[in-house]
Structures are given as structure tokens and as C-alpha cells.
């Protein structure tokens, strides 16, 4: 997709119509693995920003929506207090379980967190918020940014970014934004997850001709020309609810 002018306008109108504040993603920013590795220092340097937390009285469905959106791009949170994991998002649990085999035989989530922090050569002081980029495939665990005195008690929050994750949009967003059919949506999600056309054809029990027909329709509806361009677009809109 070259610019997504029509999609931008539709989303802006949608946000204005609902009377909500919206932060539009930079849809022209590359979401490739290489660019994520190279730009993590600038993208995630948030030392001058308010910690990304919701009010305690925020509706549970709002929290679930936020956690789901962040999880789709491989971002998770873990809350520690007095040597225990007191809260962890589903994506965070998945990341910790993946790292458990490296955690010196420990089976506790807290032990895995400490092992990741050790690999990143970082301390996790009480009251802090730390942003860690991790890659299970590459054996990477590095500190991106850390803020101290964020919390008044012994709470410690960790934001984990899984560099191995393949950002994928929600089916609802794809259907609303591009008016995709159910079959086209299934194909788009499969491509976002890294699938190739042959494997997708086998998994979905569809002929190659049918899959290619759906792909051609996706190109038209998303105003993209190549599969790599389509996948890049899908990753960039993954944060939309």
C-alpha cells in the first residue's frame, strides 16, 4: 500500500465520530525484523513520557482490549512485588514460559524474570519500570530504557518486547478497514503469521487457484501490489483494536 490515504481518512473520521482521542500509527514506518532491531533505542525511549498504565478503575474490558492489542505486536507486561510475580499479561506469560529452559532449572515465573534481567545485565530496583527487548531465537535480552521511582511502594514493572513476534491485526479491524470477506481475512492473518501460500492452501484445504484469487482480492482492497508489501501493512495496523 503506497499511502493508505483512504484508510487514514476513514479512521480519522471514525475516531472523531466517537469523540475519542486517537493516536494514529505511522503507517509508513517499516515493521521488518531488521528495522525493529536497529530502531529500538529510539522507538522505545520513553523516559520523558507518562508510564503506559490505565487507571485502576478502568473497565476490565478496556484493559483486556489494551493487553490484546499490545500482545498482537509482541509487547507484554510483568508486575513484580516482594519477590513474586503478581500480574502478567498472557503474552508476557508466553514469553516467560519460552525462556524457562534457560532459567537455571527454576520453574517459577519470578525466577525466569530474574534470569532475563541477568542476561540483560540489569538490576530491577523497587519502584522502577524497565523496558526489555528479548529474542528467544537470537538469544537476546537487552535493556532499552528504565525509569526509577515510578511507583511509591516495592512494585516493579517490566515491559517486554518480543522481537520474534510477528505483528498481526485483529480480524475485526481487517474487515472494518478493508471490507474483507471471511476467507480473505483468514488468508491475511495466515500471511501475517509468516505462512506461505502453499502451506496455507494445505492448511485451509483450498486450491492454489482459490488462494491466489483471495490474494489478488487482498491486493486490490488494501491497495498493495506485492505480498511483502501486504504483510508489512498488516503488521503496521496490528495495534488497532
Where do the structural domains in the chain lie, given as residue ranges?
Answer: 5-27+167-236, 33-162
Q: What is the DSSP string of 51-89?
A: -----TTS-HHHHHHHHHHHHHTTEEEEEEETTEEEEE-
User: CB of 71 within 8 A of CB of 93?
Assistant: no
User: What would the mean pLDDT of 231-236 be, rounded to a whole number?
Assistant: 92
Position 94 scores a pLDDT of: 87
C-alpha–C-alpha distance, residues 140 and 70, integer Å: 20
Position 53 scores a pLDDT of: 44
Position 43 scores a pLDDT of: 32
C-alpha–C-alpha distance, residues 209 and 24, integer Å: 36
User: If pLDDT is split at 50, 70 and 90, which confidence band does 70 have?
Assistant: confident
Q: According to the CATH classification, is domain 5-27+167-236 in 1.10.150.530?
A: no
Query: Over the chain, what is the mean pLDDT?
Result: 77
Asked if residue 13 has pLDDT above 80, the reply is no
Position 48 scores a pLDDT of: 34
Please write the tens of the pLDDT for every residue from 162-191.
998 888 899 999 999 999 999 999 999 999
Give the C-alpha distances (Å, rounded to integers) separating 180 from 24, 132, 165, 211, 221: 22, 36, 24, 14, 8
User: How many beta carbons lie within 10 A of that of residue 51, not counting itself?
Assistant: 11
Residue with the three cell numbers 492454489: 208
Asked if residue 204 has pLDDT above 80, the reply is yes
User: If pLDDT is split at 50, 70 and 90, which confidence band does 86 have?
Assistant: very high
Asked if residue 24 has pLDDT above 80, the reply is no
Is the pTM higher than 0.75?
Answer: no
More confident site: 208 or 36: 208
Q: What angle is formed at CA 42 by the lines to CA 120 and CA 234, rounded to 5 degrees?
A: 95
Asked if residue 122 has pLDDT above 70, the reply is yes
Position 212 scores a pLDDT of: 94
Asked if residue 37 has pLDDT above 80, the reply is no
C-alpha–C-alpha distance, residues 106 and 104, integer Å: 6
Closest among 37, 72, 34, 64 to 192, alpha carbons compared? 72
Asked if residue 113 has pLDDT above 80, the reply is yes
Position 115 scores a pLDDT of: 87
User: If pLDDT is split at 50, 70 and 90, which confidence band does 68 have?
Assistant: confident
Amino acid at each position: 500500500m503506497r499511502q493508505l490515504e483512504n484508510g487514514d481518512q476513514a479512521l480519522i473520521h471514525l475516531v472523531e465520530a466517537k469523540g475519542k482521542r486517537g493516536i494514529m500509527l505511522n503507517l509508513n514506518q517499516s515493521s521488518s525484523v531488521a528495522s525493529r532491531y536497529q530502531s529500538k533505542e529510539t522507538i522505545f525511549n520513553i523516559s520523558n513520557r507518562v508510564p503506559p498504565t490505565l487507571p485502576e478503575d478502568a473497565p476490565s474490558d478496556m484493559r483486556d482490549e489494551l493487553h490484546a492489542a499490545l500482545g498482537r505486536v509482541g509487547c507484554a507486561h510483568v508486575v513484580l512485588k516482594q519477590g513474586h510475580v503478581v500480574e502478567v499479561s498472557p503474552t508476557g506469560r508466553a514469553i516467560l514460559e519460552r525462556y524457562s529452559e534457560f532459567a537455571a532449572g527454576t520453574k517459577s515465573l519470578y525466577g525466569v524474570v530474574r534470569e532475563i534481567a541477568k542476561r540483560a545485565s540489569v538490576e530491577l530496583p523497587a519502584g522502577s519500570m524497565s523496558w526489555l527487548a528479548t529474542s528467544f531465537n537470537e538469544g537476546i535480552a537487552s535493556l532499552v530504557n528504565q525509569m526509577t521511582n515510578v511507583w511509591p511502594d516495592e512494585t516493579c514493572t517490566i515491559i517486554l518486547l518480543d522481537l520474534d513476534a510477528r505483528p498481526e491485526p485483529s480480524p475485526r479491524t481487517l474487515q472494518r478497514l478493508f471490507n474483507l470477506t471471511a476467507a480473505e481475512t483468514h488468508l491475511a492473518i495466515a500471511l501475517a503469521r509468516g505462512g506461505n501460500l502453499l502451506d496455507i492452501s494445505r492448511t485451509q484445504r483450498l486450491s492454489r487457484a482459490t488462494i491466489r484469487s483471495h490474494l489478488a482480492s487482498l491486493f486490490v482492497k488494501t491497495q498493495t501490489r506485492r505480498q511483502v508489501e501486504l504483510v508489512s501493512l498488516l503488521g503496521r495496523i496490528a495495534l488497532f483494536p
